[in-house]
Amino acid sequence: MTVIAPPSPLSAPAPADRPGFRLTVTEPLALDSGQSLASYDIAYTTAGTLNAERTNAILICHALTGDQYFAQPHPITGKPGWWDVLVGPGKVLDTDRYFLVCANVLGGCMGSTGPADIDPATGKAWSLSFPVITIGDMVRAQKQLIDHLGIDSLFAVIGGSMGGMQVLQWALSYPDRVFAAVPIATAPRHSAQNIAFHEVGRQAIMADANWCGGDYIAQGLRPERGLAVARMAAHVTYLSEQALHRKFGRNLQNRDAISFGFDADFQVENYLRHQGNSFVDRFDANSYLYITRACDYFDIAAEHGGVLANAFKNTKTRFCSISFTSDWLYPTSENRDIVHALNASAANVSFVEVATDKGHDAFLLDEPEFHATLRGFIEGCAQHRGLNKS
Amino acid sequence: MSPDSTRLITPLKNELREDLRLVAQMIEPGSRVLDVGCGEGELLSYLYQHKNVDGRGMELSQGGVNSCVRNGLSVIQGDADNDLHDYPPHAFDYVVLSQTLQATRNPHDVLRHLVRIGRRAIVSIPNFAHWRMRLRLLTEGRMPRTAALPHHWYDTPNIHLCTILDFIDLCDDEKIKVERSVALDDLGQAYRLNPRGRLANLLAAQGLFLLQGRS
């Protein structure tokens, strides 16, 4: 994937360990909590080329532990971009036709301002003095980037999981600036079960002595054990019982018999430990606290008198909601709540439930039915938008 | 709309079924249409290409929905019994329910929703009083099975079959105004018969009705 030059000289290239671009916004950001950020960075990457009319831009919103490296290798893990299967010339998110932008969320740890960064007021890491942020705050910050890129109206905003929440928030906050919205494997509110799982993760981090009440950066420590356990627990929720069974069953890890001990006897244990251990190399524990909290606070209906249907009144955006049969984290029923609310506004909406046993993570994987759906929807929207194949 | 927006999304594999062509004829160009039970989106594609219609679909089978969305149509998975109540009154110029009313659990509720959501509703039904049905029942003494209604009594999705006269009675009871009715033969061609008459009820394989929405 080639990285295109910044569309405007105002963005500076990001530091070498964070390839891509960085926008420093000096206009204060008013947050939902009532606090504000005096200035902040947004780290982002792009793929494809913005057309002269600036009508072919697609904003990609990443999930909880994702980042802006959707289309290029990750600078820490070296793994391909997290949506590499979808992005490229001739692919569903066709870089020959569309200009793709993905920004690290506010509160993140890959270059956008977050709790691991230095608070200019104190010269020390923000840590827990970083203000609590919401999905709405993340989107407000992204809007600054889209303004900066000179894009009046996004052709599409697309994202899965927490990225899907941002998609919905975009469609609500800036309806005139979103031509098409694709919320995938998401929900109009974070369910009690999902808040519960997030709390397990947060408590795992806080239980790590190295967390130091959140002050680990100043202490020169890292709560890696806690963060790894948080990741292990969360990772199970991204899969499905069938997928785990298919991948691992009760297979033993490099041994012929159980050990009558607490080693990783089973492959599934080994796999989860690996997931946990590799995660801590690329993620900040306090970022994990802040971003999970932002998801927990997400509830569209609450902002509209408790009636979800009121949220999308008179929307002109074209929606395509996609869910996966084996996703128990953001089940079809919750995705369907979004569709019902859109129907109540007689909005233009498509809804597809993709049959798969891969669980919530299916949106990141090679799922032909999902990809065909997304391709068809985008192609249909491109025709309505007058974006023709060149 | 730009000229480009009326281009083919996907070329139709086959010509539009004859009865759907009659449905399409009832629809004004440029209108908003909801096709309930839209199958693979044949009618919606046709209306989009030929009548510049802003179309939406609802379909029970996931395969049908996926194929519609793949082809650029706005379609959701849902069914007439459960998913019509979300829509606000007069959300569409036309709501189409083709050969599906007999498969709903509560046909009268569905019908009420159709005339609530649409300024007009277009409904087609298989006519159980067709002479072939009558003859089979008379001569064989068993539940009739035909090309149009091929299922056994125990596995049929068509749990609320009716005749053309029954349907018109229901519309009268519900005070729904039937603006036009058409009697169709086995091939979906229109008969030159009074659709409210006993002869149409004997000869027609299907009835097609344009209903006035509730104001």
Per-residue DSSP letters for A100-147? EEEEPPTT-SSSS--TTSEETTTTEE-GGGSPP--HHHHHHHHHHHHH
- The distance of B146 to chain A (nearest Cα, Å) reads 33
- Per-residue pLDDT at B11: 44
The reply to whether residue B73 touches residue A350, judged by beta carbons under 8 angstroms, is yes
Q: Using 50, 70 and 90 to split pLDDT, how confident is the model at A390?
A: low
CB-count exposure of residue B145 (10 Å: 0-12, 13-18, 19+):
middle
ipTM above 0.85, yes or no: no
Whether residue A327 lies in the annotated active site:
yes
The reply to whether residue B72 touches residue A386, judged by beta carbons under 8 angstroms, is no
Residue A346 has pLDDT above 60, yes or no: yes
- Give the HSE-up count for residue A114: Cα atoms under 13 Å, Cβ half-sphere: 25
For residues A289-304, average pLDDT: 96
- Per-residue pLDDT at B17: 87
Whether residue A161 lies in the annotated active site:
yes
Domain A12-191+299-385 has CATH 3.40.50.1820: yes
Residue ranges, comma separated, of all CATH 1.10.1740.110 domains in chain A are 194-293
CB pairs under 8 A between A and B: 76
CATH number of the domain to which B206 belongs: 3.40.50.150
| Start-to-end Cα distance in chain A | 20
Share of chain A above pLDDT 90, in %: 92
The reply to whether residue A352 touches residue B77, judged by beta carbons under 8 angstroms, is yes
Whether residue A390 lies in the annotated active site:
no
- Per-residue pLDDT at B191: 85
- The distance of B101 to chain A (nearest Cα, Å) reads 21
Q: Identify whether B24 is part of a domain.
A: yes
Beta partners for residue B199, in sequence order = none
- The distance of A221 to chain B (nearest Cα, Å) reads 50
pLDDT truncated to tens, each residue of chain B (215 aa)? 333 333 344 444 557 888 899 999 999 999 999 999 999 999 999 999 999 999 999 999 888 998 899 888 999 999 999 999 999 999 999 999 999 999 999 999 999 999 999 999 999 999 999 999 999 999 999 999 988 889 999 999 999 999 999 999 999 999 999 999 999 988 888 887 787 889 999 999 999 999 999 98
- The distance of B149 to chain A (nearest Cα, Å) reads 29
Q: Identify whether B78 is part of a domain.
A: yes
Angle at A118 between CA A113 and CA A123, to 5 degrees: 150
Closest CA to A110 of A151, A77, A137: A77
Catalytic site residue from A161, A287, A321, A323: A161
- Per-residue pLDDT at B4: 37
Closest to A383 (Cβ–Cβ): which among B9, B78, B83? B9
pLDDT single digits (tens) A40-59: 999 999 999 999 999 999 99
The reply to whether residue A384 touches residue B5, judged by beta carbons under 8 angstroms, is yes
Q: Using 50, 70 and 90 to split pLDDT, how confident is the model at A5?
A: very low
The encoded tokens of residue B147 equal 């090309």
Identify the domain containing residue B169 by its residue range.
Answer: 3-128+160-212
- Per-residue pLDDT at A11: 64
Residue ranges, comma separated, of all CATH 3.40.50.1820 domains in chain A are 12-191+299-385
Q: Which residues of A touch B40 (CB under 8 A)?
A: none
Structural class in CATH, domain A194-293? mainly alpha
Lowest mean per-residue pLDDT among A250-254, A279-283, A386-390: A386-390
Q: Specify whether the CB–CB gap between A145 and A42 falls below 8 A.
A: yes
- Per-residue pLDDT at A104: 98
The total number of structural domains in chain B stands at 1
User: Is A388 part of the contact surface with chain B (CB cutoff 8 Å)?
Assistant: yes
Taking CA–CA distances from A355, the nearest residue in chain B reads: B62
Cα–chain center distance at A318? 21
E strands present in A206-361: 318-324, 348-354
Q: Using 50, 70 and 90 to split pLDDT, how confident is the model at A10?
A: very low
